[in-house]
């Protein structure tokens, strides 16, 4: 196991290097960060020149990349085009995204396993048909439309119904919150419920389909039939043998998905004004801000690599061996 892990980690270093170079060149060449400044009649050419020097725009791309590498190996993420340090922005954005994504994924996976297993076990029942319908529905809904619907029915109307601010549409917490710990928890929950629901509905749809089909596969397999023939209780067969194997594809998908989603659920974040990794990336790209995009890339790429590794390890761990029950 250990040599396997080490080998994988070693391979990812050149991977990170190449991807960071490609992205750097791409962002650096996609536009001029000082364009607005140049257009502004009140700003003198000398000021523009000085800003250019500050941002190293007068140097060739390779040199700029070299400067970035030199800084990053010391842990210095640099400053963005406006001179604001990148590290605190990244840390904050990561925190925001993690908060949303971890909660949502946990609930989505739990729900998906439940629904997927029941669907598979009670195949072609009303439950199966309705959950299939629901899954396809949520999977096909455009995120921003779902979000708008949720804002209207999940927040505005509910608040009107109860004549209190229960559910919020903007931000992670109330701006001017005063109150005890429990009240604060309630406030955070009120802010998290809509964006989490959006993410959950869409992820759950995907995962429950995986669970269902892989569960169906497993339930048809020989060893399950053998276990039943040996007289094991139905539920024991399900939980100790079938489920564990059925979860393998799901584990792989979730692990890979986590890597993707830590890059920021861009649309959800934008619609609910959660300034997380997705927003950071979009802003970085729009402003042609190399340091920001590179920092984002490092985090996301590292997470993807690690979670790929975890998926492989989990797969090895879950490899089916029937234990004598």
Partner 1 sequence: MRSKRGVWRLLALLTVFSLILAACGGDDGDETGGGEETETTTEDQKSGGTVILAAEQEPESLNWLTSAHNTAWGSYIMGWVWPGAWYADPKGEKVQNKDLVTSVELTSEDPQTVVYKINKDAVWSDGTPITADDFKYYWEAQNGKNEAYQPAGTTGYEDIESVEGSDNGKTVTVKFAKKFADWDALFDFLLPAHAFAKAGGGDPIKGFNEGFVTETVDLANAVSGGPFKVTDFKRGQSMTLEKNEKYWGKPAFLDKIIIPFITDATQQPAALENKEADVAFPQAQIDLVQQVKAIQGITSEIGFGTFWEHLDFNFENQHLGVKEVRQAVGKAIDRQEIVKRLPGQFSDEAKVLDNRIFKPGQDAYKANGAKEYGKRDVAGAKKLLEQAGYAAGPDGIYAKGGNKLTLRITWRDPNPRRQQTAQLLQAQLKEAGIDAQLAPQPSFAFLDEGNFDIALFGWTGGTVLSSNTSIYETDGGQNHAGHSNKQVDELFAKANVEFDQDEREDMMNQIDTLLWADLPTLPLFQVPELLAYRDTIQGPKYNGFQGPTWNAHQWSLK
Nearest to 130 by CA among 198, 212, 235: 212
Nearer to partner 1 (CB atom), residue 127 or residue 223:
127
How many angstroms separate the CA atoms of 279 and 255, rounded?
Answer: 22
Contact between 271 and partner 1 by CB under 8 A: the answer reads: yes
**Nearer CB in complex with partner 1: 97/208:** 97
Part of the chain binding partner 1 (CB under 8 A), chosen from 99-107, 165-173, 205-213, 248-256:
165-173
CB–CB of 112/201 below 8 Å? Answer: no
- Residue 33 CB, shortest distance to partner 1, in Å, is 10
Token pair 């523009």 in the structure block, residue: 48
Scanning 20-28, 42-50, 202-210, 245-253 for contacts with partner 1 by CB under 8 A, the matching segment is 42-50
Q: Smallest distance, Å, CB 308 to partner 1?
A: 29
Output 126 or 182, the one with its CB closest to partner 1.
Answer: 126
Of the candidate residues 43, 103, 232, 309, the single one contacting partner 1 (CB under 8 A): 43
Cα angle vertex 119, ends 116, 125, to 5°? 165
Sorted by sequence, the CB contacts under 8 Å of residue 184 that are 6+ apart come out as: 173, 177
Within 10 Å of residue 13's Cβ, how many Cβ atoms? 10
Instruction: Give the alpha-carbon dihedral of 269, 273, 274, 275, to 10 degrees.
Output: 100
CA atoms within 13 A on the CB side of 222: 2
The reply on whether position 47 binds partner 1 by CB under 8 A is yes
Select from 28, 57, 93, 250 the one that contacts partner 1 (CB under 8 A). 93
Is residue 172 involved in binding partner 1 (CB under 8 A)? yes
Interacting residues of 207 by C-beta distance below 8 A, sequence separation 6+: 108, 109, 112, 113, 116, 250, 253, 254
Q: Is position 161 an interface residue for partner 1 (rule: CB under 8 A)?
A: yes
Please say which residue, 7 or 164, places its beta carbon nearer to partner 1: 164
Query: Which two three-digit tokens encode residue 175?
Result: 């701006």
Nearer residue to partner 1 within complex by CB, 38 or 70: 38
Q: Is 85 in the site for partner 1 (CB under 8 A)?
A: yes
Choose between 34 and 301: whose C-beta lies nearer to partner 1. 34
Q: Which is nearer to partner 1, 127 or 315 (CB)?
A: 127
Phi, psi torsion values for 74, nearest 5 degrees: -90, 0
Q: Which residues of this chain interact with partner 1, rule CB under 8 A?
A: 31-32, 35, 37-44, 46-48, 50-51, 81-85, 88-89, 92-93, 96, 122, 125-127, 148, 151-153, 155-157, 159-161, 165, 168-173, 175-176, 270-273, 275, 279
């Amino acid at each position: 196991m250990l040599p396997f892990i080490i080998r994988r980690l070693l391979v990812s270093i050149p991977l990170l290097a190449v991807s960071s170079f490609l992205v750097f060149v791409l962002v650096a060449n996609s536009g001029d960060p000082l364009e607005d400044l140049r257009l502004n009649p009140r700003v003198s050419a000398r000021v523009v020149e000085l800003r250019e020097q500050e941002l190293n725009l007068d140097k060739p791309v390779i040199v700029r990349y070299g400067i970035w590498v030199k800084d990053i190996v010391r842990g210095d993420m640099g400053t963005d085009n406006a001179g604001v340090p990148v590290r605190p922005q990244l840390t904050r954005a990561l925190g925001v995204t993690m908060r949303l994504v971890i909660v949502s994924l946990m609930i989505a996976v739990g729900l998906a396993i439940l629904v997927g297993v029941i669907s598979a076990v009670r195949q072609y029942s009303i439950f199966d048909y309705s959950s299939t319908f629901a899954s396809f529905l949520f999977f096909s809904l455009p995120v921003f439309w779902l979000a708008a619907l949720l804002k209207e029915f999940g927040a505005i109307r509910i608040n009107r119904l109860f004549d209190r601010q229960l559910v919020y549409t903007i931000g992670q917490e109330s701006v001017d919150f005063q109150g005890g710990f429990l009240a604060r928890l309630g406030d955070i929950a009120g802010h998290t419920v809509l964006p989490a629901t959006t993410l959950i509905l869409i992820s759950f749809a995907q995962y429950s389909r995986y669970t269902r089909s892989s569960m169906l596969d497993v339930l048809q397999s020989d060893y399950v039939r053998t276990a039943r023939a040996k007289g094991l209780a139905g539920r024991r067969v399900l939980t100790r043998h079938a489920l564990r194997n059925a979860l393998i594809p799901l584990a792989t998908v979730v692990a890979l998905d986590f890597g993707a989603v830590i890059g920021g659920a861009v649309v959800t974040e934008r619609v609910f004004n959660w300034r997380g990794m997705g927003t950071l990336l979009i802003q970085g790209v729009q402003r042609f801000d190399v340091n920001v995009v590179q920092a984002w890339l490092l985090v996301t790429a590292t997470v993807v690599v690690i979670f790929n590794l975890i998926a492989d390890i989990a797969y090895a761990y879950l490899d089916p061996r029937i234990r004598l029950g």
